[in-house]
Amino acid sequence: KQEVTQIPAALSVPEGENLVLNCSFTDSAIYNLQWFRQDPGKGLTSLLLIQSSQREQTSGRLNASLDKSSGRSTLYIAASQPGDSATYLCAVIQGAQKLVFGQGTRLTINP
């Protein structure tokens, strides 16, 4: 059974710092991996989708990497801003479109 773990569960950093969020998964037989952002009381917003054949994806200040063989993905946020404060979730997609989520990392950017 696929298990997805995100570390740390919570992170607080000063504005302007670069930071890395981690996601690990136990079964490397995935089709792709997706990073989401969730603001309090809101649904999930897709940030980046990495296909299994890709190593990384970039969008603005965000860069996500994928290492299937080691079962790991990272989300790098450059020059963090208070507006980046949210919960970040990663999800792996396996066969038959089965999406398995991690529990999320709650990020706080302090002005």
Choose among 62, 30, 61, 31: nearest CA to 48. Answer: 62
Phi/psi zone of residue 60: left (φ > 0), alpha (ψ -120 to 50 degrees), beta? left
For residue 103, the minimal CB distance to other proteins (Å) is 5
Contact string (CB under 8 A) for other proteins, positions 64-93, x = contact: -------------------------x-x-x
Choose among 71, 69, 93, 75: nearest CA to 8. Answer: 75
* Residue 103 engages other proteins in binding (rule: CB under 8 A): yes
* Residue 98 engages other proteins in binding (rule: CB under 8 A): yes
Residues making contact with other proteins (CB under 8 A): 4, 31-32, 34, 36, 41-46, 49, 89, 91, 93, 95-99, 101-104
